[in-house]
A and B are shown apart, each in its own frame.
Chain A
């Protein structure tokens, strides 16, 4: 099945997965290169590159929504799509909560002895939770759309 034959929901989920995965890799490179969290908050250049990842993500994602808008005569999504998207949002929220919890726990464990934590990690949690939420939401839509979700 070609990309054009996919439903609008599935097409958008594939695009979102790719776009936010690229943004995630982009941010990770910006964050972990050149000193990591220790100098991230004071390095305006790296900060700008990291912010660029999010800006890139939203501009390309909104563009993809426009490109896949279809025509008004077509039935592009229906009740099943709405159910899939709604459930995916619920699952993605839980995934983000778990990731934030685990990240905080790991940071605390690693830095417990030192008694201090670089403030740059706050940016990591902020950007990271956003990207994880957006990627996981799109991936869960793809999984639920393929499954027998909606039965019963």
Chain B
């Protein structure tokens, strides 16, 4: 599990959505601003439910916001 690499495009998508603030996204996705910050820094992998809620805020599918790929040299 530790070899998995999940990236996201939340920071870019926020700016593409009228420069939405972390707080606005957090409120819409029902999580805290700190969690959005941790997600953008790649320091936290969300639950499936939170991933769906964030994707829904942007009107996108989960795979358009989150990208999964094993790190090089694994698998």
Question: CB-CB < 8 A to A79: which residues of B?
Answer: 31, 35, 46-47, 50
Query: What A residues does B26 contact at CB under 8 A?
Result: 75
Give chain A nearest CB distance to B56 CB in angstroms.
Answer: 16
Size bracket, chain B contacts = 20 to 34
Among B1-57, those with CB < 8 Å from A are 1-2, 4, 6, 26-27, 30-35, 38, 41-47, 50
A2 to chain B, nearest CB (A): 14
CB-nearest residue of chain B to A147: B43
For A151, list chain B residues within 8 Å (CB). Answer: 42-45
Interface SS majority for chain B: loop
Residue on B with the closest CB to A145? Answer: B34
Measured between C-beta atoms, what is the minimum distance from A126 to chain B in Å?
36
- Provide the bound-state CA to CA distance between A149 and B50, in Å: 17
The chain B residue sitting closest to A77, CB to CB, is: B32
Give how many A residues have a beta carbon under 8 Å from the other chain's beta carbons.
16
Asked whether A75 and B43 contact (CB < 8 A) given A148-B38, A152-B4, the answer is no
Q: Are A80 and B4 in contact (CB under 8 A)?
A: no
Beyond contacts A148-B42, A148-B43: 11 other A-B pairs, Cβ-Cβ < 8 A, are A75-B30, A77-B32, A78-B32, A78-B50, A79-B46, A79-B50, A80-B35, A148-B41, A149-B43, A152-B6, A152-B45
Interface set of A (CB-CB < 8 Å, partner B) = 7, 10, 75-81, 145, 147-152
Residue contacts A-B, CB under 8 angstroms, 28 given: A7-B32, A7-B33, A7-B34, A10-B34, A75-B27, A75-B30, A75-B31, A75-B32, A78-B35, A79-B31, A79-B50, A80-B32, A80-B35, A81-B32, A145-B34, A148-B38, A148-B41, A148-B42, A148-B44, A149-B43, A149-B44, A150-B38, A150-B44, A151-B43, A151-B44, A152-B1, A152-B4, A152-B6
